[in-house]
Amino acid sequence: MPAHKLVLDEVFEQPYKLLAIHSSVEEFKLAYLLNKHIDLKLARTPKDIDLHKGDESSLFAHFIYEDLQKYCTYHLVNNVARQEGRSGSDLDSLFSEDHLAVKKSFLLPEFKQVDFLVKIEDELDAISTKMLISRILEIPQVSTAYAIDFHRIKTKENLIFD
């Protein structure tokens, strides 16, 4: 009797909108600015997003706001995690404590230039992406903001925050 092989080609995905934000401010400052200018109530989650790659683990700051009136959820996430560590070649050096290397890891490696991501889980499609981007661009600390096409994302599994 032949073995039955099941192939899952496409995972059921909840529809969401994804915005990229370029800004040099810290994540808590951007959350405050979005709360102030867009009337959100983003709050930091008790646990950051922990992304494992091999032996290394990276933590990404995560802010969330559930709008119960519009049936949507906003997620603000750092795209860049910075970790300090010693460089491997200088461990036996006399001045090894002076040579700390900063290692960057990305939530979405295909968008390395993006500083922050806003994921909007909008069940009723009540949020206008163009209107939201125009309001984000009014914030002086934001360099630019734009929507990311869902089909250009190669690492979609990194955007599952449950």
Residue 42 forms part of a structural domain: yes
pLDDT in tens, the chain (162 residues): 677 777 655 555 557 899 999 999 999 999 999 999 999 999 999 999 988 877 778 889 999 999 999 889 999 999 998 776 655 555 555 555 556 677 888 999 999 999 999 999 988 888 899 999 999 999 999 999 999 998 888 888 888 887
Residue 155 forms part of a structural domain: yes
**Residue 46 CB neighbours (<10 A):** 6
pLDDT of residue 25: 96
Residue 10 forms part of a structural domain: no
Number of domains in the chain: 1
Q: What is the DSSP string of 40-105?
A: ---EE-SS-EEEEETTEEEEE-EEEEEETTTTEEEEEEESEEEEEEE-GGGTTSTTGGG-EEEEEE
Residue 1 forms part of a structural domain: no
Residue 5 forms part of a structural domain: no
Q: What is the pTM of this model?
A: 0.80
What CATH number should be reported for the domain holding residue 143?
Answer: 3.30.310
d(CA 104, CA 35): 27
d(CA 56, CA 44): 23
pLDDT of residue 87: 58
Sole residue written with tokens 């090894």: 96
Residue 129 forms part of a structural domain: yes
What is the residue range of 32's domain? 17-89+98-159
Q: Which of 156, 145, 47 is nearest to 109 (CA)?
A: 156
pLDDT of residue 98: 56
Q: Are 3 and 9 in contact (CB under 8 A)?
A: no
pLDDT of residue 82: 79
Residue 4 forms part of a structural domain: no
Q: Are 33 and 25 in contact (CB under 8 A)?
A: yes
Residues 6+ apart with CB under 8 A from 78: 27, 60, 61, 62, 107, 115, 116
Residue 52 forms part of a structural domain: yes
